[in-house]
């Protein structure tokens, strides 16, 4: 197993490392089948996926940079539909900077998805998501709640939809809390998410509430310590003019009441 703990440099080194990994994964799968699904000796924690987690430290700076750099173009100024032009030249309608903006949107979606899987399989005794990395990543990830998608994103087949990016964002922040297992770090995460729900836009409110719902579902009784801070925000959202926001806030309130065993309406 010492092969898996050495950093890879260059294509040849990576290919050798990847071949060893595939071989080990195949043997592991065969052993599980032969033993009737698992041997119960702790090897389940060392899955092929967990072996990639430590390498995320080499991408940490790039992840935060691409999540925080400004949009390269004002998306509201871009055309919503493709018009007919001589020669159907798309480049005459959408300039190169707008294409880069869409690529940045796509890149951010990939980063969120990758970080979610990183957190999900960060199960080693020495975690990648320690206090330092948590603090480095928290605000860049939170900032995605208020990022305005490029209006031309649906014109490109490979570009992720707003719904897909929102799902990655909820999973990323939710799993971040589950993995870190620290109420000291849960507090700033919960606070930052709640603050985004005071946006005038509907999307940050919906995504923020979905993150809170994820935390309530997965932290369970441990989330009750954050009710004093969360309930006032829910009270505001229960009076929101947008029905989806109000409905989601009501659902979360019922979940909290089920966990606490008491009515929370008097605290709103």
Q: What is the dihedral of CA 256, 199, 133, 215, to 10 degrees?
A: 10
What's the pLDDT score for residue 149?
A: 83
Q: Distances in Å between the alpha carbon of 248 and those of 172, 208, 245?
A: 20, 10, 5
Name the DSSP class of 152: T
Residues 143 and 230 in one domain: no
My answer on whether 104 and 191 are in the same domain is no
| Same structural domain, 159 and 68 | yes
Which residue among 120, 149, 181 closes a domain? 181
Give tens-digit pLDDT for 43-67: 444 565 677 888 899 999 999 999 9
- Classify each residue of 85-95 as buried b or exposed e, where b means 16 or more C-beta atoms within 10 Å of its C-beta: eeeeeeeebbe
Last residue of a domain, one of 181, 209, 240: 181
Q: Is residue 146 part of a domain?
A: yes
Look up residue 1 and give its two tokens. Answer: 């197993």
**Token representation of residue 166:** 């929102």
Residue length of the chain? 268
Q: Identify which of 72, 86, 66 has the alpha carbon closest to the alpha carbon of residue 140.
A: 66
Do 169 and 224 lie in one domain? The reply is no
The torsion of the CA quartet 19, 23, 26, 31, rounded to 10 degrees, works out to -160
Taking the C-alpha atoms of residue 109 and residue 104, their distance in angstroms, rounded to an integer, is 9
Give yes or no for a contact between 235 and 191, defined as CB atoms under 8 angstroms apart.
no
176 and 189 inside one domain:
no
Q: Which residue has the tokens 């190169």?
A: 96
Q: What is the pLDDT of residue 13?
A: 61
Q: Are residues 167 and 198 in the same domain?
A: no
Quote the CA–CA distance of 256 and 223 in Å, as a whole number.
9
Whether residue 81 is contained in a domain is answered as no
Q: What pLDDT is recorded for position 51? A: 75
Which residue range is the domain that position 257 belongs to? 182-268
Report DSSP state, residue 268.
-
List the structure tokens of 265.
Answer: 């309406």
Task: Report residue 57 CA to chain centroid gap.
Answer: 17
Question: Which stretches of the chain score pLDDT less than 50?
Answer: 1-8, 38-45, 71-98
What distances in angstroms separate CA 144 from CA 84, 149, 224, one per listed residue?
A: 34, 10, 26
Cα–Cα distance measured from residue 207 to residue 45, given in angstroms and rounded to the nearest whole number = 31
Do residues 66 and 165 both lie within one domain?
yes
How many domains are contained in the chain? 2
Position 215 in a domain: yes
* Per-residue pLDDT at 148: 85
CB 190 within 8 A of CB 212: yes
pLDDT digits (tens, 9 = 90+) for 239-254: 999 999 999 999 999 9
Instruction: Copy the structure tokens of residue 161.
Output: 């939809």
Is 88 inside a domain boundary? no
Domain-located, residue 256: yes
pLDDT for position 218: 97
Q: Can you tell me the distance from the alpha carbon of 86 to that of 64, in angstroms, rounded to the nearest whole number?
A: 42
Q: Which of 134, 150, 181 is the last residue of a domain?
A: 181
């Amino acid at each position: 197993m010492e092969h898996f703990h050495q950093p890879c440099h260059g294509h040849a080194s990576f290919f050798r490392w990847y071949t060893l990994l595939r071989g080990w994964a195949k043997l592991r799968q065969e052993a599980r089948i032969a033993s009737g699904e698992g041997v119960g000796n702790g090897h389940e924690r060392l899955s092929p996926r967990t072996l990639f987690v430590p390498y995320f430290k080499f991408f940490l700076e790039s992840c935060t940079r691409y999540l925080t750099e400004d949009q390269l173009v004002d998306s509201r100024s871009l055309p919503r539909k493709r018009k007919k032009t001589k020669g159907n030249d798309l480049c005459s309608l959408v300039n190169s900077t707008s294409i880069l903006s869409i690529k940045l949107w796509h890149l951010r979606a990939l980063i969120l998805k990758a970080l979610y899987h990183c957190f999900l399989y960060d199960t080693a005794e020495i975690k990648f998501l320690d206090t330092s990395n948590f603090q480095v990543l928290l605000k860049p990830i939170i900032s995605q709640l208020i990022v305005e998608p490029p209006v031309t994103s649906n014109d490109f087949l490979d570009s992720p939809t707003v719904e897909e990016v929102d799902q990655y964002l909820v999973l990323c922040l939710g799993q971040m809390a589950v993995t870190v297992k620290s109420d000291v770090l849960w507090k700033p995460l919960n606070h930052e998410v709640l603050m985004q729900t005071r946006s005038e836009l509907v999307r940050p409110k919906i995504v923020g509430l979905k993150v809170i719902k994820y935390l309530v579902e997965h932290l369970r009784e441990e989330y009750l310590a954050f009710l004093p801070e969360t309930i006032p925000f829910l009270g505001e959202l229960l009076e929101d003019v947008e029905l989806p926001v109000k409905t989601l806030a009501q659902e979360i309130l019922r979940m909290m009441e089920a966990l606490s065993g008491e009515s929370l309406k008097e605290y709103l």
